[in-house]
Amino acid sequence: KNEVEQSPQNLTAQEGEFITINCSYSVGISALHWLQQHPGGGIVSLFMLSSGKKKHGRLIATINIQEKHSSLHITASHPRDSAVYICAVGYYGGSQGNLIFGKGTKLSVKP
């Protein structure tokens, strides 16, 4: 069964802390996505990657294809980073858009 597992489920951090959220998957993938879901429910795409590392501002995403593992890092965390972070994968054999989603990691950054 195709699965995407995220850890931790919940994460509370103090402002300024370095944060890591992990994602493991069980199938060969064409791409992995990191998404941010705001408290109001809207989803924003943060990264789409199939190898290596990507950086955008204070966010860094890495992927290790051999280990079927990805991490999302947030440097110098801020209360506005509080959201649910979702890992999703597009798997080989699936069409464009047929993503398997993780349950999400709820991040709360305290001032």
Partner 1 sequence: EPEVTQTPSHQVTQMGQEVILRCVPISNHLYFYWYRQILGQKVEFLVSFYNNEISEKSEIFDDQFSVERPDGSNFTLKIRSTKLEDSAMYFCASSVGRTRRTYGYTFGSGTRLTVV
Torsion of CA 61, 64, 68, 69, to 10 degrees: -40
Among 24, 26, 31, 69, binds partner 1 (CB under 8 A): 31
For partner 1, the closer CB: 14 or 51: 51
Among 40, 56, 57, 92, binds partner 1 (CB under 8 A): 40
Binding of partner 1 by 39 (CB under 8 A) = no
> Which residues, in sequence order, are CB contacts of 69 under 8 Å at separation 6+?
22, 23, 24, 25, 63
Q: How far apart are the first and last CA of the chain?
A: 40
Is the link from the previous residue into 111 a cis peptide, with omega within 30 of 0?
Answer: no
Binding of partner 1 by 33 (CB under 8 A) = yes
Radius of gyration of the chain (CA): 13
Give the binding-site size for partner 1 (rule: CB under 8 A).
Answer: 25
Binding of partner 1 by 64 (CB under 8 A) = no
Binding of partner 1 by 9 (CB under 8 A) = no
Interacting span for partner 1 (CB under 8 A) from 7-15, 58-66, 75-83, 87-95: 87-95
Interacting span for partner 1 (CB under 8 A) from 7-15, 30-38, 56-64, 66-74: 30-38
